[in-house]
Structure 1
Amino acid sequence: MPQVSVVVPVYNAEKYIAETLTSIMGQSFVDFDVHVVDDCSTDDSAKIVQEFCARDARFHYHRSPSNFGGPAGPRNLGIDQSSGGYIAFCDADDLWAPYKLELQMAIARDSGADIVSAVVRDFADGENPAAFVRPDGEVPLTSISHGRLLLKNWIALSSVIGRRASLMTAGPFNSSRTHIAVEDFDMWLRITGSGGRVIRIGTPLVHYRKLPSSISASKSMMVRKALNVIGEDYDRRGKGSLFRLLRPAHWILYVGTSAWMRAIRREL
């Protein structure tokens, strides 16, 4: 049984999936397996993934029985098919630093955190991302509380490793259409809302590829969806009426914080 299982949902990602899987294959931490879940792609994604499976026995290909229309369903299938005590997530067009899992597993073991995430740097499609620079010395760490998450989703999915037990207790990713592109935010709020601990590494470990066709490309839509998820969190805690009063303030804070992180620091 591997220490870490990596779950990668794929849908028509033939242009990028080989580069993504190569960055996973090249990890300095080697005790992992990879579960790529194909959401009924119509391009050559399956062929490319299966070539990786033939080269490396740690890689496994799964095809969903029907198209989910979003990544939450394939992620849930990947978790079900995996056995690692920790689960790591990576989208089909993102890139990992070669020491990502090594650094995160050391921090996860030392801290006992339920989720370990990291800074993510974005880059435009067709642009060469800046080289990863392995931190020299003590790594900056930040605790991401439930309250901080209510102001911004500080946890980029492709940067996450999480305890299987914590993810399973929180429940599956919400695969409804209303939660597409915010199903991960919903998961982090559920984990931290029940006392789960999240640590964010303050050094970039993931390159996030910005695509015009990305589900999350519409900023105004993403803010509306994020606020809906925050509202559901207030409802779970019996504070729905309070959120309705605070929604305008949440909008301003969420938009302002996200804009600053992207424009000034190019971080997610």
Structure 2
Amino acid sequence: MPRVSVVVPVYNAEKYIGETLQSISGQTFGDFEVHVVDDCSTDGSAAIVQAFCATDNRFSYHRSPSNFGGPAGPRNIGIEKSSGQYVAFCDADDVWMAHKLETQLATAEVTDADIVSAVVRDFRDGEDREEVAAPLGAVPLSEISHARLLLKNWIALSSVVARRSTLEAAGPFNPARTHVAVEDFDMWLRITQNGGRAVRVGVPLVYYRKLPTSISASKMMMIRKALNMIGDDYARRKKGGLFKVLRPVHWVLYVATSAWMRAIRREL
């Protein structure tokens, strides 16, 4: 049984999926399996993934029974098929740095965290990417509490390593949220609301590819959707009345935090 199961949903990503899989294959930590779940791609993604699987037996290809219209469904399939103690996620156009898993697993063991995420560095096609040196000794960590998540989603999905038991207790990614690109935020809010611990490694471990067609390309739209998720979180905790009173303040704080972070650096 591998220590880590990596889940990669893919849909029409033939231009990028090979580089993504190569970055996972080249990890300094090697005890993992990878489940690539194809959401019924109509391009050459399937052939690229299957050819890669033939060269590295840690990788396996799965095709969803029908198109889910977003990554939540394929992620759930990947989790069901996986067997590792930890589950890591990577989108089909993102790139991992070589020491990502090694750094995060060491962090998970030291902190006993349920979720370990990391700083994510943006890049665009054609830009040079410099591999950040592997951190020596203790890495800087920050606690991502439920209250802190309510001000900004600090947890980038392609950077996440989570305990399987924690994901199973939280339930699956909600496919109803996938069309508005907040199914991951919904998951982190549910886990931390129920006492799960999330920590964030304060060094870049993932390159996030910025594409004009990305679901999350419109920042203001994403902020509005995130705020709707926060409203749902308040409702789950029966704080609806309080949220209605504080909602204008919460809007301002959330927007200001997101704008400030984007202004000072191109990293999440």
For the aligned pair, the TM-score class normalised by the smaller chain equals over 0.9
The code of the aligned residue for 1:107 comes to T
Deviation at 1:138, TM superposition (A): 2.4
Q: Is the 8 A contact 1:2 1:31 kept in 2?
A: yes
106 and 217 in structure 1: CA distance in 2 versus 1, 3 angstrom threshold: same
Instruction: Show the counterpart of 1:35.
Output: 35
Give the whole-Å Cα distance in 1 for the aligned partners of 2:221 and 2:111.
Answer: 36
Give the whole-Å Cα distance in 1 for the aligned partners of 2:177 and 2:29.
Answer: 35
Q: Is the 8 A contact 1:27 1:101 kept in 2?
A: yes
1:1-268 → structure 2 map (5 Å cutoff):
1-177=1-177, 180-268=180-268
More displaced 10-residue stretch of structure 1: 201-210 or 245-254: 245-254
More displaced 10-residue stretch of structure 1: 68-77 or 128-137: 128-137
Give the whole-Å Cα distance in 1 for the aligned partners of 2:109 and 2:136.
Answer: 20
The code of the aligned residue for 2:87 comes to I
* Structure 2 gap segments, 5+ residues each: none
49 and 170 in structure 1: CA distance in 2 versus 1, 3 angstrom threshold: same
TM-score (ref. length: structure 1): 0.97
TM-score (ref. length: structure 2): 0.97
Q: Is the 8 A contact 2:37 2:77 kept in 1?
A: yes
Deviation at 1:131, TM superposition (A): 2.5
* Structure 1 gap segments, 5+ residues each: none
Give the whole-Å Cα distance in 2 for the aligned partners of 1:207 and 1:262.
Answer: 16
The code of the aligned residue for 1:256 comes to A
Secondary structure of the residue aligned to 1:116 is: strand
Secondary structure of the residue aligned to 1:216 is: coil
Give the whole-Å Cα distance in 2 for the aligned partners of 1:143 and 1:2.
Answer: 27
The code of the aligned residue for 2:188 comes to W
Deviation at 1:242, TM superposition (A): 1.2
Q: Is the 8 A contact 2:70 2:178 kept in 1?
A: no
Secondary structure of the residue aligned to 1:176 is: helix
Deviation at 1:22, TM superposition (A): 0.3
Deviation at 1:125, TM superposition (A): 2.4
More displaced 10-residue stretch of structure 1: 218-227 or 88-97: 218-227
Q: How large is the RMSD of aligned CA atoms in angstroms?
A: 1.1
Q: Deviations over 1:172-228 (max 9, x none)?
A: 001015753110000000000000000100000000000000000111211111011
